[in-house]
Amino acid sequence: AQKITQTQPGMFVQEKEAVTLDCTYDTSDPSYGLFWYKQPSSGEMIFLIYQGSYDQQNATEGRYSLNFQKARKSANLVISASQLGDSAMYFCAMREETSYDKVIFGPGTSLSVIP
């Protein structure tokens, strides 16, 4: 069964607009963490943001925020004020305490920012 689902294979956003990338996850582990990574065309994996399952508030890092809805098992990434350099693949990922904390990645969403 898919642990991480990203239903948007590709997204377009106008420069300076906000965009939401969807992520839903499946776990029965009460202790888990959720991540978003960015992979530009150069290929490296860049850590963006982390949300723990027990965190009371949604995580924010600069222009990135994570909309964490625990009951719905969703962890959407919101990028505000999109920039051309935001064009990349974005991966949602999860670690489960009962799985030795290894991180499992979703299939990714390709974001293109239009000038």
* Ranges within 51-80 binding another protein (CB under 8 A): none
- Supply 40's token pair: 């530009």
Cite the DSSP H helix spans in the chain. Answer: none
Judged by CB under 8 A, the number of residues near another protein is 21
Answer whether 72's CB lies under 8 Å from 15's CB: no
* Ranges within 4-23 binding another protein (CB under 8 A): none
Q: How far is the CB of 20 from another protein (least distance, A)?
A: 19
Q: How far is the CB of 88 from another protein (least distance, A)?
A: 13
Q: How far apart are CA 58 and CA 7, in angstroms?
A: 21
Instruction: Classify burial at 114, counting beta carbons within 10 Å of its beta carbon; exposed 0-12, middle 13-18, buried 19 or more.
Output: exposed
Contact between 99 and another protein by CB under 8 A: the answer reads yes
Of positions 28, 43, 85, 115, contacts another protein by CB under 8 A = 43
Residues that bind another protein (CB under 8 A): 33, 35, 37, 43-47, 50, 91, 95, 99-108
